[in-house]
Amino acid sequence: MFTLYSYYRSTAAYRVRIALEYKGLHYSYKPVDLMRDGGEQHHDSYMKINPQQLVPSLVTAEGQVLTQSLAIIDYLEEVYPTPALLPYDPIAKANARAIAQAIACDTHPLNNSRVLKYLTHTLRIDDQAKQEWYAHWVNTTFTSLEQLLRADPSRGHYCVGDSVTVADLCLVAQVYNANRFKVDMTPYPNLMAINNHCITQEFFIAASPEQQPDYPATTN
Ligand SMILES: N[C@@H](CCC(=O)N[C@@H](CS)C(=O)NCC(=O)O)C(=O)O
């Protein structure tokens, strides 16, 4: 049994929740409120678990702490290889990882909560500039992914072929966040077709922010 330190609307934690649900792995959910009391990720109790002060963290039954969503997903894939989150074919595998990394490594780090907090609290940019910053980096990546998918003759219901891969986990979590920031998704029909297909699947639904115990009765 795993323990997942998570926040309902954390993009990175959302990816890991989908992987756990997809593989049918049981976990207990420990909420880390990134907003309350200056952010519980900075509290001593959590810093002992993850000195990076980020969610997610996944603790194994043996007490090993795993951090970084893509590293956690790699671990789950190695230890619980079926159902797989990476294609068998090396080229398809590289393509799935490339899409995942375009989102998780090139986009999300520019837009995560600590960066947005720094922009507003330290550099004093206003809400409109923050919104533009957020949308700019999402649009930069999504424009290129949309082109990539449009040109891919092998594309099925998912980013790579007809099976769920790590790319879809990253896509769905990033689209959720982009919708929260009201980024216009109409230029991305291929990405949205995949997203809309994914979010009807049982394991994506179970992992969604709305299904988490810390999802608030009213959101802002
Ligand atoms: N590269 C990390 C990113 C983790 C991350 O940025 N987590 C955000 C939530 S999505 C966080 O914990 N933010 C805390 C903060 O902003 O202080 C991963 O993939 O796990």
The pLDDT, as a whole number, for residue 153 is 79
CB atoms within 10 A of CB 189: 12
The pLDDT, as a whole number, for residue 219 is 55
User: If you measure from the C-alpha of residue 152 to the centroid of ligand 1, how many angstroms do you get, rounded to a whole number?
Assistant: 31
The pLDDT, as a whole number, for residue 152 is 87
Global model pTM greater than 0.85: yes
121-173 per-position pLDDT tens digit: 999 999 999 999 999 999 999 999 999 999 987 788 999 999 999 999 999 99
Q: Is 43 in the pocket of ligand 1 (CB under 6 A)?
A: no
> Which spans in the chain are helix H?
11-22, 44-49, 69-79, 90-104, 108-111, 113-117, 127-150, 166-180, 189-198, 202-207
Q: How far apart are CA 136 and CA 125, in angstroms?
A: 15
Q: Is 177 in the pocket of ligand 1 (CB under 6 A)?
A: no
Residues of the chain scoring pLDDT < 70 = 219-220
Q: What is the DSSP letter of 4?
A: E
Q: Which ligand 1 atom is the nearest neighbour of the CA of 109? A: 6
Residues forming beta bridges with residue 57, ordered by sequence position: 5, 67
CA dihedral 200, 203, 205, 206 (to 10 degrees): 160
User: In testing the pocket of ligand 1, which one of 113, 118, 169 has its CB within 8 Å of the most ligand atoms?
Assistant: 113
Q: Is 112 in the pocket of ligand 1 (CB under 6 A)?
A: yes
User: In testing the pocket of ligand 1, which one of 6, 33, 111, 112 has its CB within 8 Å of the most ligand atoms?
Assistant: 112
